[in-house]
Amino acid sequence: MARKILSAAAVGFVLTGCWAGFRNDPARTGQQPFEFILSPTNVAELERVWAAPTGGAVSSSPAMVSGVVYVGSDDGQVRAFDAAGVTNCTGVPSTCTPLWNRTTGGAITSSPAVANGVVYIGSADTSLYAFGLPGTAPPTTTTVSSNANPATAGTPITFTATVTSPIGVPTGTVTFTDGQTTLANQTLANGQATVTVSNLTVGTHTIGAGYSGGGPFPASSASPISQVVNATGTLRYVDRASSACTDSGNGTVTAPFCTINGAALKATAGQTVIVAAGTYAEQVTVVSSGTATAPIIFTAASGATVNVSGARNGFTITGRSWIVVRGFDVTTTTSHGISVIGSSNIVIESNRVSRAGLPEAGRTGYGIHLSGVTQSFVSDNTTDRNTDAGIHVVAASNSNVVTGNVSFSNARGYVRAAAGIDVRESTGNLVHANVAHDNEDSGINAWTGLTNGQNTFSNNISQRNGDHGIDVHNAVDARVIANTVFRNADSGIESTTSTRTYIANNVSVDNGINSTRSGGNLRIDSSSAGTATLNDDLVFMSVPGTVVDWSGTKYTTLAAFRSATGQESRGLEGDPRFRSAAAADFRLLAGSPAIDSANADASGQPATDFNGLGRFDDPATANTGIGVIRFVDRGAFEYRP
């Protein structure tokens, strides 16, 4: 009888046949035994820990993951047993029955592999099987999108649901809903399902998609989208290239407006202004407001490049609400590219705003400027080469969301002052999942004022800026959470003259190298140190330098800083193993100390990463994180193999 004896320091089992029993048991004469045998170090005679019958010869090694042993046999079944020999085991000595078993179509001679809640095993029936473990399969993600939003009543609208999983392409059905009403049940094909409808009524519809689950793929639901359906005649068209265009008409498809501003003077609640490709040398001044259910929307036509340039501002919105500006290329304005003042519920999304203002004192311009603006969204814009901050949020601009934007190469030119994103004297804002790089001053300014609080800066990437990565100054209750900050000219994350700054779960690397100013991956000045909280950050210097500057004392190791201050009790110092920092790819490689080590309960910790992906438990990394989920990663990216 062939045997392989493993020491207790390894696995502790022997696997040799079709059932398990005592070693040298004469009752087994003529049979090929399947034994799990503990082999303690320096013990002469082997003793059985437990035995488990299988239905056929076992020709391969088992696999053990998280206290469970998986093994295949010639009867075509793969079985799972409690490695400790406690659960599903009876008798003395113990005989165990499977915790779990599945059947293939032929004998199993290969060893199982277990990852991400799935057992993979080959069979003599020429198939490779993947069996999902009960309750352990990774979650699926379902999203829903529309091909026409807004749409006109009576026209077809196609909704697409996409279901993804880290372990394969899900199969099954998706249920599309309009509020509580079911639109259709559709079968997934290559992870997608679609439904086309043309009978939605005028108004705003809440469209959802629910995946029912199937095989190893658990059910999931999409975040619903708001589908706007306008009445016939609520679309206004602009096309300066049309020979029939006129600003005296109503902007029909056959007689469009010549200018966007001509449409803005007549657009009312519930109307959408669709602008054809071309260069529009004008300032668009919005004169009316929309409503919660009937916003006024200004949008570039599908696939069109619409350039708005040359005037004082590209768009100006003052004292208005429920306005959307989407898809424009705003450039070379003499002041701010898009200016919003004293307004609420404004959406500025998917625009490119560049080269605003002039590089002269008193004549600079912000890319997107919000002053006294509330409950608004600035999302998925690109702001670059403006003569002041790419995005400027100021003067009690409260409870706004700034997300998904890329802001780079903004510079006054004559003095270092232009940041990527600049938030000042405002409260309750979320600055999340933005990229700020190569700006003249800091990537992100959090100068929010000592009478304001609870501004959160999370999942941002701030790299190679001329001052700090994230600069908290004259702020109260600023939360800097789960950002990735790399090689900024001065300190990476800084807090000066601020109260109760909370810094956690960030990755800050190689900041302030050879700086003639302050430096350090983290810097807290004497005016902030008394109330600041730092923990669960990952810091690293690839060359000798300041890791933390605390109240003027420069520490070259995190251990020395921790010993002196008691801060960063769970902080880590080590190479985060970016995929390619040189190519600005700050996703993590296997073995990064950032993996599965963050504090999931940190105040302001986002549920998803920079890419909107959920948290992933790396099976190769021990969970050293704390909180409700012990496998959250530090920094802006969640590791995915």
Tell me the pLDDT tens digit for each residue of 366-397: 999 999 999 999 999 999 999 999 999 999 99
Picking from 70-74, 116-120, 307-311, 324-328, which range would have the lowest pLDDT averaged per residue?
A: 116-120
- Find the mean pLDDT for residues 316-339: 98
At residue 233, the pLDDT reads 64
Tokens of 87: 């659960």
At residue 117, the pLDDT reads 73
Does residue 161 contact residue 211 with C-beta atoms inside 8 Å? yes
pLDDT for 4 beyond 50: no
What confidence tier does 137 reach under pLDDT thresholds 50, 70, 90?
Answer: low
At residue 542, the pLDDT reads 97
Buried b (16+ CB within 10 A) or exposed e, 47-59: ebbbbbebebbbb
pLDDT for 201 beyond 60: yes
pLDDT for 288 beyond 60: yes
At residue 114, the pLDDT reads 86
Report DSSP state, residue 321. E
The percent of residues in the chain predicted with pLDDT above 70, rounded, is 92
- Find the mean pLDDT for residues 332-356: 98
pTM: 0.70
Tell me the pLDDT tens digit for each residue of 519-551: 999 999 999 999 999 999 999 999 999 999 999
pLDDT for 232 beyond 90: no
- Find the mean pLDDT for residues 296-320: 97
Nearest Cα to Cα of residue 445 among 406, 413, 414, 475: 475
At residue 1, the pLDDT reads 33
Tell me the pLDDT tens digit for each residue of 75-105: 999 998 888 887 888 887 788 888 888 899 8
**What residues contact 67, with CB distance under 8 A and at least 6 apart?**
82, 83, 84
Does residue 52 contact residue 64 with C-beta atoms inside 8 Å? no
- DSSP assignments along 65-76, one per residue: ETTEEEEE-TTS
What confidence tier does 10 reach under pLDDT thresholds 50, 70, 90?
Answer: very low
Collapse the DSSP code of 261 into the 3-class scheme (helix H, G, I; strand E, B; otherwise coil) and give the result.
Answer: helix
- Find the mean pLDDT for residues 280-302: 95
- Find the mean pLDDT for residues 556-581: 98
Quickly count: other Cβ atoms within 10 Å of residue 88's Cβ: 16
Tell me the pLDDT tens digit for each residue of 401-416: 999 999 999 999 999 9
Establish how many alpha carbons lie within 13 A of residue 458's alpha carbon, considering only the half-sphere containing its beta carbon: 22
pLDDT for 108 beyond 90: yes
Does residue 501 contact residue 532 with C-beta atoms inside 8 Å? yes
Quickly count: other Cβ atoms within 10 Å of residue 468's Cβ: 31
- Find the mean pLDDT for residues 258-269: 97
At residue 135, the pLDDT reads 56
Mean pLDDT of the chain: 90
